Amino acid sequence: MGKKGEDTRTRILDTAQDMILGNGYAGVSIDKLISRLGMTKGAFFHHFKNKSELATALITRFSDDGVELFKESLARARKFSSDPLQQLMILIGQYEELFEGLEEPYAGCLLASYVYELQQFSEETREIINREFLLSRKELTKLFREIVKKYPPRVDVDIKSLADGFMSLFEGAFVLSKSLQEADVTFQQLQHYKTYIRLLFDPKLAA
Amino acid sequence: MGKKGEDTRTRILDTAQDMILGNGYAGVSIDKLISRLGMTKGAFFHHFKNKSELATALITRFSDDGVELFKESLARARKFSSDPLQQLMILIGQYEELFEGLEEPYAGCLLASYVYELQQFSEETREIINREFLLSRKELTKLFREIVKKYPPRVDVDIKSLADGFMSLFEGAFVLSKSLQEADVTFQQLQHYKTYIRLLFDPKLAA
DNA sequence: TAATTAACATACCAAACGGTATGTTCGACA
DNA sequence: TGTCGAACATACCGTTTGGTATGTTAATTA
């Protein structure tokens, strides 16, 4: 595939994702999509053999990007500090940067959008969605194990669900942010998550 | 409307909600809906003048139920204790009961489902969705103000976003729960929310 | 530069879509 | 007991849907 074709494919994916985040997958017809793209049906079906291939390409790209972002952020955090609690704070800090000072609410998470239409997709699609959830659960649980070992928590907590709280935070914040049309919801919830972690583990926070 | 008609209407709403939570609003056609209901088109359009009236009836019912549940839970909490922190714990405890020991993941929140298809709906629909979010924000912020006055927090926190965290928690947990097919996600996140609150305010939790 | 192919455009199709018009059935009630 | 309306059922309609067949054009590349 040449550069122009690659660009067009990307343009289709970008526009489709934007429309799906506001209308749902079933709510975005190919006719409406190509109309907004100023493109014909022939063009679309040259790049995707059917609508469900577009769906798969979209969720794969979104999930892969999310996984990559998480891995990179974690690697950077691991690099900048040798202390597990510091590492977690740096990790969260990087996500804070992404959501700090947004003008508009974040468009939303394609994973969540698909989750509320899961019966339209294959089991394979659900597995793609779960990749990011399970990766962050795995890596954060590992990190929390290190933290617990070094910093005895003030209260007994289950660290797997504590790890899940990170992804859960985004999904919840996005819903509120979109509906209330407030851009800062995600950033604020990230701050609370950080505060919770510090209250649990940070020895400097003495009563 | 007689009793039988009322029953049928409720049956339509129940089935439609169940299907929408797995396929999205646009993903549920009237044909598929009536097919699963074992009912004809004439029957459906006798109860709803068009599909968007069904959409409005559904979200109104869901939002009203949520609002009522919150109000009742809060009233009960206010009744059982005069201490604001205790009241909050009782409130959360009532939601914990709803999600404790679930066999299957919770089917999901219709508000969230609609939020990811917001462009298909009217501005009025968004306002209906926001009712529950804004009510819990308002009431919980009020409650947190009382708590802060009585129990100086260990760390400075923004109480409005702390209140938002409650609704956000459910929305996030539902997404993970549905996708991972794990029933206990919501209950676990509720426990973390409770722990966070206690770490912030509970004086008995001395370091 | 001729051949080939990627990158589109045009025209069309059957099925599914939301919705309507016109029935029928049956229980309440005067 | 007759009638009237709520509660459905049947048949149909125009539009939209995802998808295909068959073009045309422009860029590689042999």
What tens digit of pLDDT does each residue of A169-188 get? 999 999 999 999 999 999 99
* Contact of A131 with A63, CB cutoff 8 Å: yes
Query: What span, in angstroms and rounded, lies between the C-alpha atoms of B79 and B114?
Result: 34
Nearest one of A163, A159, A161, A63 to A115, comparing CA atoms: A63
pLDDT band at B207 (very low <50, low <70, confident <90, very high): low
- Degrees (nearest 5) of the Cα angle B126, B128, B130? 70
Query: What span, in angstroms and rounded, lies between the C-alpha atoms of B49 and B26?
Result: 17
pLDDT digits (tens, 9 = 90+) for B93-133: 999 999 999 999 999 999 999 999 999 999 999 999 999 99
Q: Which nucleotide is nearest to B45 (CA to C1')?
A: C19
Percentage, residues of chain B above pLDDT 70? 98
Q: Which residues of B touch A162 (CB under 8 A)?
A: 192
Query: What pLDDT shows up at residue B6?
Result: 82
Q: Say whether the CB atom of A8 is under 7 angstroms from strand C.
A: yes
Find the mean pLDDT for residues A22-45.
97
Query: What pLDDT shows up at residue A4?
Result: 77
Query: What pLDDT shows up at residue A77?
Result: 98
Query: What pLDDT shows up at residue B20?
Result: 98
Q: Say whether the CB atom of B41 is under 7 angstroms from strand D.
A: yes
Query: What span, in angstroms and rounded, lies between the C-alpha atoms of A157 and B195?
Result: 8
Q: Which nucleotide is nearest to B49 (CA to C1')?
A: C19
> Is the sign of the CA dihedral B105, B109, B113, B116 positive or negative?
negative
A130/B25 touch (CB, cutoff 8 Å), yes or no = no
Tokens 């995600």, residue?
Answer: A186
Strands (E), chain A: none
pLDDT digits (tens, 9 = 90+) for B55-73: 999 999 999 999 999 999 9
Find the mean pLDDT for residues A42-55.
97
Query: What pLDDT shows up at residue A6?
Result: 83
Query: What span, in angstroms and rounded, lies between the C-alpha atoms of A151 and B4?
Result: 63
HSE at residue A83, side-chain half, CA atoms within 13 A, is 8
Query: What pLDDT shows up at residue B1?
Result: 60
* Contact of B164 with B156, CB cutoff 8 Å: no
Chain B contact for A170 (CB, 8 A cutoff): yes
pLDDT at B4 over 90: no
Query: What span, in angstroms and rounded, lies between the C-alpha atoms of A83 and A73?
Result: 15
CA closest to C1' of C23 belongs to B42
B116/A21 touch (CB, cutoff 8 Å), yes or no = yes
Q: Which residues of A touch B189 (CB under 8 A)?
A: 161, 164-165, 168
* Alpha-carbon distances of A125 from A59, A131, B115, B182, rounded to whole Å: 8, 10, 21, 17
Percentage, residues of chain A above pLDDT 90? 95
Query: What span, in angstroms and rounded, lies between the C-alpha atoms of A19 and A23?
Result: 6
Find the mean pLDDT for residues A126-131.
98
Query: What span, in angstroms and rounded, lies between the C-alpha atoms of B105 and B103?
Result: 7
Find the mean pLDDT for residues A91-105.
97
Query: What pLDDT shows up at residue A179?
Result: 98
